[in-house]
């Protein structure tokens, strides 16, 4: 399966990549965001969410696990599973209902919910690169393959 690498020199570059991703995932997608604290996962999510019409703040829902954005054309669910105590918490919150076909689900720290959340269309790994960051996008489904192709065009 294919992958794409993005060099992100500064924060605006991360936001711009989020804007770009937003334009191809309007029909729905599951995006997993991997990477250390501070790698830029929430910044990228902000780029996606604001690009699709949210004008307020975007912060990691570390304590609430999910932040919903019901926007004009799409529903976006931003998960941060960093503080997930046990996978059963996901069952209690009705995790599967969020992953409807046309929703955009962005999941920080997906490894904490492994086996309890649906698999992604795209795995995004953010890492430190000097003063900036690097993002590697990997397709994990046929929908993901199609999305990556669109991003490359």
The packing angle between helices 11-24 and 41-51, to 10°, is 50
Identify what 114 binds: ligand ADP, Mg ion, none; CB under 5 to 8 Å per kind. none
Q: Tell me which H or E stretch contains 76.
A: strand 75-80
Q: Which of residues 22-51 bind ligand ADP (CB under 6 A)?
A: 35, 37-43
Each residue 123-142 as x (binds Mg ion by CB under 5 A) or -, in order, gives --------------------
Interhelix angle 11-24/142-152, rounded to 10 degrees, is 120
Query: Is 14 or 50 the residue whose CB approaches ligand ADP more closely?
Result: 14
Residue whose pair of structure tokens reads 């960093």 in the numeric block? 82
Q: What is the CA radius of gyration of the chain?
A: 14
Rounded to an integer, what distance in angstroms lies between the CA atom of residue 100 and that of residue 110? 17
Scanning residues 48 to 77, which ones bind ligand ADP (CB under 6 A)? 60
Rounded Cα–Cα distance for residues 77 and 7 (Å):
26
Which does residue 112 touch among ligand ADP, Mg ion, none (CB within 5 to 8 A, set by kind)?
none
* Interface residue with Mg ion, options 14, 18, 29, 41 (CB under 5 A): 41
123 binds, among ligand ADP, Mg ion, none (CB under 5 to 8 A by kind): none
8 binds, among ligand ADP, Mg ion, none (CB under 5 to 8 A by kind): ligand ADP
């Amino acid at each position: 399966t294919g992958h794409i690498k993005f060099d992100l020199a500064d924060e605006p570059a991360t936001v711009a990549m989020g804007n770009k991703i937003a334009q191809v995932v309007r029909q729905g997608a599951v995006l997993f965001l991997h990477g250390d604290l501070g790698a830029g996962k929430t910044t990228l999510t902000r780029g996606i969410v604001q690009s699709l019409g949210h004008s307020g703040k975007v912060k990691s829902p570390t304590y609430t696990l999910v932040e919903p954005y019901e926007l004009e054309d799409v529903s976006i669910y931003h998960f941060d599973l960093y503080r997930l105590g046990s996978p059963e918490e996901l069952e209690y919150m009705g995790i599967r209902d969020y992953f409807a076909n046309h929703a955009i689900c962005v999941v920080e720290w997906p490894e904490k919910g492994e086996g309890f959340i649906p698999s992604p269309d795209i795995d995004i790994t953010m890492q430190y690169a000097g003063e900036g960051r690097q993002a590697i996008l990997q397709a994990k489904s046929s929908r993901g393959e199609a999305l990556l192709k669109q991003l490359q065009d």
